[in-house]
Every structure is written in C-alpha cells, then in structure tokens.
Structure 1
Amino acid sequence: MSLSQPDLWQQQMRAAQRGDAEAYRALLTALRPWLSAYFRRRLQSPDTEDLTQITLVAVHEKRHTYDPTAPFMPWIAAVARHKLIDHVRKYGRYVHVELNELNEPVDEASLGLPATIARRDVQVLLSQLPVDQARVIRLHKVEELSLEDVSRLTGKSVAAVKVIVHRGLKKLRDSVGVPRKVYEDE
C-alpha cells in the first residue's frame, strides 16, 4: 500500500489555495505519514518527527509558491529535500541513501520524482563553485567525459583536470556537510 496519493493531494492543495480550510487540514494530515517515511528512509535518527513538523510548517509558509498546474509530488519532495539538507548541514548527520538489490542508486523516476529535481540540485551545487571549476566537474562527472576529453576541451593538462575535479568535489562535500572522514577513507 502506497502512502502517497498524488492526485488527491494535488486536488487538496489546489482547493487549499482557493481557501478551503477543510481540504488543507486533510492534506496536512495525509502528508504526515508520507513525510515521516521519507525522512526515516534517508536519516537514521530520532529527528524524523521534528523534521516532519518542520516540513509541515514550511508547506504552510510556502504553499503560495505551489503552481496549481504542476504536479504536486515534485513540489512536496523538493520542500522535504530542502529541509533534510538544512538538517544535515546543521547537525552534520549521515543521510541514508537507498540502494536497490544490485547496489545501484534507486531511480527517482520510480518514486514519482522527475530527474529534473536532481539536475536542479546539481546545478545549485555547481553554482557555488568558480565557473571554470564547475565546468570541468560538469564535463567529467555529469556529462561523463574522460579526463583526456575534458583536458582537450578546456586546454588544461590531464593532471590539472584531476586536481580541479578532486578539489571541487571536496568543496561540494564540505558544503553539504559530508564529514571529511567519510570520503577520506574512499
């Protein structure tokens, strides 16, 4: 049984934006178990209830930003993801990443979340880096070009590309609160 009811939630949110208090109350009540499960899967911590409450407050404060012509699930997932990231940054906790049986990342499309959310998050992170560094990382890690191809495209040596990628990824890990010990052991 699925906890999410995207079509119903979208209707309730639209009604709430038109001032229907009963629909809004029903939406917040329905979101609670979904948010709790979302945070439990990603954060092995007793803080999941607090994060659920914080996210429900954020939904209340940001409900005017929801576009009623857009699907509801990507919007609520983005709100929850931002609250989770804020929490991890503040407390430096580990986040549990779900893997399927083959130890491959779970396809977010199968969760009803479009890849556009992940692409947007990568863009936001890369925008925190100097333009040249972000370009090199984007070419090598996102577009999956070889170090040699990135070297040819940028006019930098392969060694320089390696250093730029390494330092840039370290900056990004630090910016999202990944403890140094986790990636120094790699």
Structure 2
Amino acid sequence: MRAAQAGDAQAYRSLLSALRPWLLSYFRRRLHGSEGEDLVQMTLLSLHEKRHTYNPDAPFMPWIAAVARHKLIDYVRKTGRHVHVELNEELGLADGMQPDLAARDVAVLLAQLPKDQARVISLHKLQDMSVDEVSRATGKSPSAVKVIVHRGLKKLQALVGVSKREAADE
C-alpha cells in the first residue's frame, strides 16, 4: 500500500490482487451465496476511493479489515439481513492472514502508545487477563486499568483510521 500511495501502479495492482482472496474468504464466512463477490468489489472500490486516508506509518491489515467490516455492516443494513459480526474479531487470522504479520502489526500499533498504556492493553486484551489481574500485576486500581484500556483503544482506533462515528456505529 505504501508503494501504491507513492504512485507505483504495479504495486497497486499486486495489492488489489493479493487482497481479493482474503476479502472473498472474509465475506463468505459471514454471508451465503454470491453476495461475497459483490462485497469484495465494493470494498476494493472503497479502498481505491479512500486510499489517500491510509496512514503509511500504520499497519495495513487492520485498516483494510476495518474497511471490509464497515462494508459488511452497510450491506447488512441496506438489505435488512442479519449476520453475526464479532465485536472483537481476530482481524483476519481465520481468513488466511499470517499470525506473524498480525502480531507485527499489533506490536507496531502498541509501540505508538505510551509504554505503560501499551503494557496494560497487552495484559488485558492480548494475554486475556481480567481487570483485577491486570490491577494486581501493575499496582493500578481496577478503575484506572479500565480507563487506561478505554483511552488506549480509542488511540489505536484513531491510528488505524477508525473515526469516532464509525466506532459508535459498531
């Protein structure tokens, strides 16, 4: 994506080709029939229209996964269908995204937060520790842990380009 933003047409074509199977898998797991193909096209079009909003310093997969998720939500709203969309989905891990890439993207994002905030989020969200366990491990009150996690997640959403309105829609 970085090369595509810099004007490399071949890199952009490669990106679109590489994303297509991942997007198709993502949508097929959530919908039945040929609807997945339509959503792939809508997502790729949205990527094309919004590519200027991608921050090249941020990981790409969380950004494109958010775009795909929003396209799915928009589609479901328009058609009146009901599908199950996890609030805390593993961004693409079951859809063929390599775990080492996901771990790298998470590390890059967490590195952009203050160390204490990144540690609390890592303990609570990545290591599945309860608020009380994180409180004991860090010496912070449970209320402080909740506030740190909430504010840190808001910062992470901003880093991957999720607006306040989009976050509220979810």
TM-score (norm 2): 0.55
- Please, which of 82, 95, 112 is the counterpart of residue 60 of structure 2? 82
Query: What are the ranges of 5 or more consecutive residues in structure 2 without an aligned counterpart?
Result: 1-9, 24-38, 52-58, 74-82
Matched, 1:173 2:157: yes
Ranked by relative contact order (alpha carbons within 8 Å, sequence separation 6 or more), the top structure is 2
Do the aligned partners of residues 117 and 45 (structure 1) sit closer, same or farther apart at CA in structure 2, a change above 3 Å counting?
A: closer
**What is the CA-CA distance between 1:139 and the residue it aligns to?**
0.4
State the distance in 2 between where 1:116 and 1:140 align: 20
Question: Which of 119, 123, 140 pairs up with 1:139?
Answer: 123
What does the per-residue CA deviation read over 1:120-167, in whole Å, with 9 as the maximum and x for residues that have no partner? Answer: 111110000010000000000111100000000000000111111111
Count of aligned residue pairs for this structure pair: 124
Question: Alpha-carbon deviation of 1:82?
Answer: 2.9
Q: Which has the larger radius of gyration?
A: 1
Instruction: Give the structure-1-normalised TM-score.
Output: 0.51
Q: CA deviation at 1:42?
A: 9.0
Q: % of aligned pairs identical?
A: 40
Q: Which residue of 2 is the match for residue 121 of structure 1?
A: 105
Is the Cα–Cα contact under 8 Å of residues 151 and 161 in structure 1 kept in the other structure? yes
Cα deviations by residue, 1:77-136 (Å, 9 ceiling, x for unpaired): xxxx73884xx7xxxxx612379x654447845543321111111111000001000000
Instruction: Tell me by how many angstroms 1:46 deviates.
Output: 2.7
CA deviations over 1:18-70 (Å, ceiling 9, x no partner): xxxxxxx9xx9887644456576396363556799xxxxxxxxxxxxxxxxxx
Preserved contact between residue 51 and residue 84 of structure 1 (Cα < 8 Å): no
